[in-house]
């Protein structure tokens, strides 16, 4: 005579199900919105952000009258172009790269620092004019 005994899994399930209520399905957060494709001018915009970061450091170091303008310009650029968190991070990263790059090199204002700042102003003007003429804004 064979008697079938419930296996340990069945015995545990029957005891466990009486002691615990059934688990509710976890509420899922909606996925974040998809990142839009990069704008055709993103490369130039990232370069402009890096230039602004470099100028923010160099102009402050050399105590030029326009030193306070550069962080304000970056803030305006972030407000206008930082439409998603990822894009804001990329813009801020480019700014920080420019700032850090010169903060590691220069401790005092030198003729070379002044020349670098002058070249960045020229390049930044060229880029901003090109962006405005090609893409509006």
pLDDT by residue (tens digit) across 50-81? 999 999 999 999 999 999 999 999 999 999 98
**Token pair 């509006």 in the structure block, residue:** 136
Exposure string over 11-38, b if 16+ CB within 10 A, otherwise e: eeeeeeeeeeeeeeeeeeeeeeeeeeee
Q: How confident is the model at residue 47 (pLDDT cuts 50, 70, 90)?
A: very high
Measured distance CA(98)–CA(57) in Å, rounded:
8
Measured distance CA(113)–CA(56) in Å, rounded:
12
- Specify the pLDDT at position 60: 97
Measured distance CA(25)–CA(29) in Å, rounded:
13
- Specify the pLDDT at position 35: 72
State whether residue 97 is helix, strand or coil. helix
- Specify the pLDDT at position 77: 93
Q: How confident is the model at residue 136 (pLDDT cuts 50, 70, 90)?
A: confident
The structure's pTM equals: 0.73
Measured distance CA(111)–CA(28) in Å, rounded:
58
Identify the weakest region by mean pLDDT among 12-16, 63-67, 72-76, 132-136: 12-16
């Amino acid at each position: 005579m064979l008697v079938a005994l419930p296996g340990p899994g069945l015995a545990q399930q029957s005891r466990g199900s009486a002691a615990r209520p059934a688990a509710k399905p976890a509420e899922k957060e909606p996925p974040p919105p998809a990142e839009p494709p990069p704008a055709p001018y993103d490369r130039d915009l990232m370069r402009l952000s890096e230039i602004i970061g470099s100028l923010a450091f160099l102009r402050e170091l050399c105590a030029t009258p326009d030193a306070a303008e550069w962080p304000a310009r970056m803030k305006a650029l972030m407000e206008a172009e930082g439409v998603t968190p990822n894009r804001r991070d990329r813009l801020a990263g480019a700014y920080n790269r420019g700032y850090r790059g010169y903060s590691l090199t220069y401790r005092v204002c030198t003729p070379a620092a002044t020349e670098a700042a002058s070249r960045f102003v020229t390049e930044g003007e060229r880029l901003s004019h090109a962006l405005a003429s090609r893409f509006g804004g």
